[in-house]
């Protein structure tokens, strides 16, 4: 081809890539389906062979259309043969799909490759990279088989006959958001190391790939592409010389069957696996006859037969009986456990648990950073020889607290545990007798990602061995109350996220605190009724008798009071004794038990690194919450960002949380806020710089984090004026930053770049017309 001096007049045909070899020569990289010196010949490729990265830095690859429905789960199955050279094992990409080029803090992606002789499976759901590395490949095998998958955050990998490995991705995101094509063997860019961090294999794959199939949420395994088996693009790929069946050795009488894009061993009765090397157990779907475990139950093989692990709300030999759980009972020999969706307990953890043990050992509560033996941080409450033991590790050392007294194990006593920690300092209380630990640990935060486990763990070998005194064992007995950071867990089949082999403590629908306000539970066959004390009514004694036939109108709230009567808290836009009169206003009057909740319609389009709010207010009080931008949740929920404005001791007070910690509140005191005058306040958040203007004078300017670890105010589009919903106490939600709700008037509210907010069109209660002079 020396007659072609450059690629300006490319001689390469059919979409080939022209690459200058020298000043007088060029080279053609053929697209998929073409071959020859100028890529003018057609090529039928059923078993693609990839040549890795060529001398010009280009990888051979195939690109397939985007795989739909892999956001929350998928399973891949592939077979490949390696090229006979050392570089094929070093740092080679097998396949990739991801958000390359989109996103600020790391892109979602899924990648599989080879590194130092092992298969590496890695993925990022947007909150950090998870990675699994297989044991080294057995190079005596002609063909290698890989199965991998993911369900939400949990990923798994099985290579050849190695043991299955699993991992949980960091953070709290659970969906894989990818819009790109699916690349096999290499990448369309110059080299694969341009991919996102964590997927940056240096070279393309070298060898033959016989099978790549995927199963998504929709069901069956299918070939890549649309239509199946058809790539949309490719480069420098040709036909593999070898037939997969010439390389595969099916054991135990199995027969190799080869199709256009797949090859597999057809196993005789009693055998299964990639090469027919595994025996079929009673619980396998191939077993004849099939097991009798009911739908949803888990079949577990035993040396002589099998047993069924029952999902919550079922029991019986085959989990065929349905029942309701009111107070769960656990059986340590049957792997009993319940799990609940977790929330952050990073700075503080306070647990109250009531239990009735039938054994002196067992796990009562467990949570960890990762559900594996090397879990990272963890917190565990367990019974050890009749004593209660509380262990936690914040990243540096394990702190252990243990009660001196022992529990009774005859099932006659309900014991109460109160255990927790603030920073590294922990406490443990059993039936009123307290043990504390003033730790000098360097770490002070508990990072957890797993569910909250009660009574045991889904797989006991995944428990960190440092969290228990000996071999892990589940709890045997009953539990009737679990409260974590003031949040009560609903210990029922409907309240739990998952569980197995859990019964009901007394076998009746009457559980602890089923009837509220000290009502008595009465069993009526398979249901129950409540005998209520005076002043209470309803199916579970949860309604005041004074509100049974109340006259409150227009979605107002009936609030019983101490005078054996009730008060109506009117919805926004209504006033009167029974909220019978419609009203309108531009100035809102707050009474100390009022609130307005504003939902920002433009939240999804906001730049969350910049927030501004301004308003006018007047009051006669020295204390009160004026504005809370963010969710309103209890004081122990640490993950919610907020920006708050209020009064404290006649001072203007600003508090901000942009991430894991709350900055020291900023204050300005002019000593006159309670004189019923009108004041104009404007607060601006520009990343970590906070400025506050009072009557157009700059009174506060502070950078709350010069390192700028967190710079965005993620407030979910929610803002409150004056207070919170009924039952939400200001001091609890604000973590004692503010003591009480606002009493006074607010008007002229401007949020971000919007026009003046029409307060009357928001949600709220007990807000009056502040335009009237009274």
Percentage above 90 pLDDT, the chain: 58
Q: Is the pLDDT of residue 549 over 50?
A: yes
**CATH number of the structural domain spanning residue 73:** 2.60.120.200
Of 377, 325, 394, 388, the C-alpha closest to 351 is: 388
Residue 434: helix, strand or coil by DSSP? strand
pLDDT confidence of residue 58: 85
Among 197, 222, 242, the domain boundary falls at 242
286 within domain boundaries:
no
201 and 153 both lie in a single domain: yes
Q: How many CB atoms are closer than 10 A to CB 449?
A: 21
pLDDT, one tens digit per residue, over 621-675 is: 999 999 999 998 765 555 689 999 999 998 999 999 997 667 789 999 877 777 7
Q: Out of 185-189, 576-580, 614-618, which region has the weakest mean confidence (pLDDT)?
A: 185-189
287 within domain boundaries:
no
Residue 8 CB partners (closer than 8 Å, separation 6+)? none
Band of pLDDT at residue 460, cut at 50, 70 and 90: very high
Give the dihedral of Cα atoms 302, 304, 309, 310; nearest 10 deg. 170
Residue 77: helix, strand or coil by DSSP? strand
State which H helix or E strand residue 730 sits in: helix 730-733
725 within domain boundaries:
yes
> What is the DSSP secondary structure assignment for residue 163, as one 8-state letter?
P
Q: What are phi and psi of 465, to 5 degrees?
A: -60, -20
Pairing between β-strand 520-524 and β-strand 768-769 as defined by DSSP bridges: unpaired
pLDDT confidence of residue 350: 96
β-strand partners of 647:
624, 652
Q: Is the pLDDT of residue 182 over 90?
A: yes
116 and 140 both lie in a single domain: yes
**Nearest-5° Cα angle at 111, 105 to 115:** 110
Mean pLDDT (whole number) for 553-565:
87
201 and 269 both lie in a single domain: no
pLDDT confidence of residue 190: 58
196 and 255 both lie in a single domain: no
Q: Is the pLDDT of residue 544 over 70?
A: yes
Global confidence as pTM = 0.68
Mean pLDDT (whole number) for 423-435:
92
Mean pLDDT (whole number) for 504-524:
91
337 and 201 both lie in a single domain: no
Dihedral over Cα of 461, 462, 468, 472: its sign: negative
Q: What sections of 153-281 are H helices per DSSP? A: 244-247
pLDDT, one tens digit per residue, over 408-424 is: 999 999 999 999 999 89
pLDDT, one tens digit per residue, over 480-492 is: 999 999 899 999 9
pLDDT confidence of residue 194: 62
30 within domain boundaries:
no
269 and 339 both lie in a single domain: no
Q: Is the pLDDT of residue 4 over 50?
A: no
Q: Is the pLDDT of residue 504 over 90?
A: yes
Pairing between β-strand 91-98 and β-strand 203-204 as defined by DSSP bridges: parallel
Please give the Cα distance from 230 to 214 (Å, whole number): 14
Band of pLDDT at residue 102, cut at 50, 70 and 90: very low
Residue 659: helix, strand or coil by DSSP? coil
Q: Is the pLDDT of residue 442 over 90?
A: no
pLDDT confidence of residue 566: 92
Q: Is the pLDDT of residue 1 over 70?
A: no
Residue 193: helix, strand or coil by DSSP? helix
Where in the sequence is the domain holding 738, given as residue range(s)? Answer: 588-769
Mean pLDDT (whole number) for 717-725:
95
Q: How many CB atoms are closer than 10 A to CB 86?
A: 8
Q: Is the pLDDT of residue 104 over 50?
A: no
421 and 382 both lie in a single domain: yes
Band of pLDDT at residue 752, cut at 50, 70 and 90: confident
**Nearest-5° Cα angle at 638, 124 to 377:** 60
69 and 156 both lie in a single domain: yes
**CATH number of the structural domain spanning residue 255:** 2.10.25.10
| Counted domains in the chain | 4
Residue 454 CB partners (closer than 8 Å, separation 6+)? 328, 337, 338, 339, 340, 364, 365, 479, 482, 489, 491
759 within domain boundaries:
yes
Token pair belonging to 400: 């252990």
Q: Where are the beta strands (DSSP E) in 333-424?
A: 337-340, 348-357, 362-368, 378-384, 387-393, 398-402, 415-422
- The mean of the pLDDT values for the chain is 89
257 and 197 both lie in a single domain: no
656 and 672 both lie in a single domain: yes
479 and 498 both lie in a single domain: yes
Band of pLDDT at residue 262, cut at 50, 70 and 90: low
Residue showing tokens 């095998």: 141
431 versus 754: which is more confidently predicted?
A: 431
Q: Is the pLDDT of residue 438 over 80?
A: no
695 within domain boundaries:
yes
pLDDT confidence of residue 103: 41
Token pair belonging to 97: 């799909």
Among 242, 271, 301, the domain boundary falls at 242
pLDDT confidence of residue 579: 97
Please give the Cα distance from 483 to 607 (Å, whole number): 37
pLDDT, one tens digit per residue, over 329-371 is: 999 888 899 999 998 898 899 999 999 999 999 999 999 999 9
Token pair belonging to 95: 């396949």
Among 478, 504, 530, the domain boundary falls at 504
621 and 491 both lie in a single domain: no
468 within domain boundaries:
yes
430 versus 265: which is more confidently predicted?
A: 430
70 within domain boundaries:
yes
């Amino acid at each position: 081809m020396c007659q072609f001096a450059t690629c300006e007049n490319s001689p390469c045909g059919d979409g080939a890539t022209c690459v200058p070899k020298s000043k007088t020569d060029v080279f053609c990289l053929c697209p998929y389906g073409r071959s020859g010196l100028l890529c003018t010949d057609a090529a039928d490729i059923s078993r693609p062979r990839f040549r890795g990265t060529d001398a010009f830095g280009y990888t051979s690859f195939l690109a397939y259309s985007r795989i739909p429905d892999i956001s929350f789960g998928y399973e891949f199955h592939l077979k490949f043969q390696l090229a006979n050279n050392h570089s094929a094992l070093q740092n080679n990409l097998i396949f990739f799909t991801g958000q390359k080029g989109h996103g600020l803090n790391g892109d979602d992606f899924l990648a599989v490759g080879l590194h130092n002789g092992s298969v590496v499976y890695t993925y990022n759901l947007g909150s950090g990279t998870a990675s699994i590395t297989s044991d080294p490949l057995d190079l005596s095998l002609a063909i290698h088989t890989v199965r991998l998958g993911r369900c939400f955050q949990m990923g798994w990998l099985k290579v050849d006959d190695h043991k299955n490995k699993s991992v949980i991705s960091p953070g709290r995101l659970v969906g894989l958001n990818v819009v790109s094509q699916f690349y096999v063997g290499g990448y369309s860019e110059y080299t694969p190391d341009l991919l996102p961090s964590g997927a940056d294999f240096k070279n393309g794959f070298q060898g033959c790939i016989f099978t790549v199939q995927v199963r998504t949420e929709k069901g069956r395994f299918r070939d890549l592409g649309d239509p199946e088996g058809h790539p949309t693009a490719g480069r420098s790929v040709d036909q593999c010389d070898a037939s997969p069946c010439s390389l595969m050795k099916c054991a135990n009488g199995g027969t190799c069957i080869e199709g256009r894009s797949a090859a597999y061993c057809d196993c005789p009765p009693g055998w299964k696996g990639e090469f027919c090397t595994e025996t079929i157990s009673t619980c396998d779907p191939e077993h004849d006859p099939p097991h009798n475990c009911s739908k949803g139950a888990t079949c577990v093989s035993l040396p002589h037969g099998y047993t069924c692990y029952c999902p919550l709300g079922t029991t019986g030999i085959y989990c065929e009986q349905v029942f309701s759980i009111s107070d769960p009972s656990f059986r340590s020999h049957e792997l009993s456990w319940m799990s609940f969706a977790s929330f952050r307990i990073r700075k503080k953890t306070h647990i109250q648990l009531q239990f009735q043990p039938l054994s002196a050992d067992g796990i009562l509560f467990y949570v960890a950073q990762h559900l594996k033996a090397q879990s990272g941080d963890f917190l565990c409450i367990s019974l050890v020889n009749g004593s209660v033991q509380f262990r936690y590790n914040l990243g540096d050392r394990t702190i252990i607290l243990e009660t001196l007294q022992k529990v009774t194990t005859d099932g006659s006593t309900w014991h109460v545990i109160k255990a927790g920690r603030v920073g590294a300092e922990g406490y443990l209380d059993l039936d009123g007798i307290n043990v504390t630990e003033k730790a000098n640990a360097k770490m002070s935060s508990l990072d957890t990602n797993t569910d909250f486990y009660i009574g045991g763990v889904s797989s006991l070998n995944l428990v960190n061995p440092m969290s228990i005194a000996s071999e892990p064992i589940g709890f045997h007995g009953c539990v009737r109350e679990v409260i974590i950071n003031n949040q009560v867990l609903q210990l029922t089949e409907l309240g739990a996220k998952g569980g197995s082999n859990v019964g009901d403590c007394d076998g009746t629908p009457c559980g602890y605190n089923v009837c509220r306000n000290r009502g008595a539970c009465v069993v009526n066959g398979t249901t129950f009724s409540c005998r209520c004390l005076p002043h209470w009514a309803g199916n579970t004694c949860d309604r005041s008798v004074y509100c049974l036939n109340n006259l409150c109108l227009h979605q107002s709230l009936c609030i019983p009071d101490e005078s054996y009567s009730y008060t109506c808290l009117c919805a926004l836009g209504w006033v009167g004794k029974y909220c019978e009169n419609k009203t309108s206003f531009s100035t809102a009057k707050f009474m100390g038990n009022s609130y307005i909740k504003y939902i920002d319609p433009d939240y999804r389009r906001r730049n969350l690194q910049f927030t501004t709010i301004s308003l006018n207010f007047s009051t006669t009080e020295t204390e009160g919450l004026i504005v809370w931008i963010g969710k309103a949740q209890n004081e122990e929920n640490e993950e919610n960002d907020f920006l708050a404005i209020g009064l404290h001791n006649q001072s203007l007070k600003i508090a901000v949380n942009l991430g894991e910690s709350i900055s020291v509140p900023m204050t300005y005191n002019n000593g006159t806020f309670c004189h019923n005058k009108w004041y104009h306040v404007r607060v601006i958040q520009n990343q970590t710089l906070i400025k506050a203007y009072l009557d157009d004078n700059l009174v506060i300017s502070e950078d709350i984090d010069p390192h700028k670890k967190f710079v965005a105010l993620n407030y979910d589009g929610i803002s409150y004026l004056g207070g919170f919903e009924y039952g939400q106490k200001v001091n609890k939600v604000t973590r004692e930053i503010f003591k009480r709700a606002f009493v006074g008037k607010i008007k002229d509210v401007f949020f971000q770049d919007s026009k003046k907010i029409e307060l009357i069109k928001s949600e709220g209660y007990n807000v009056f017309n502040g335009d009237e002079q009274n």
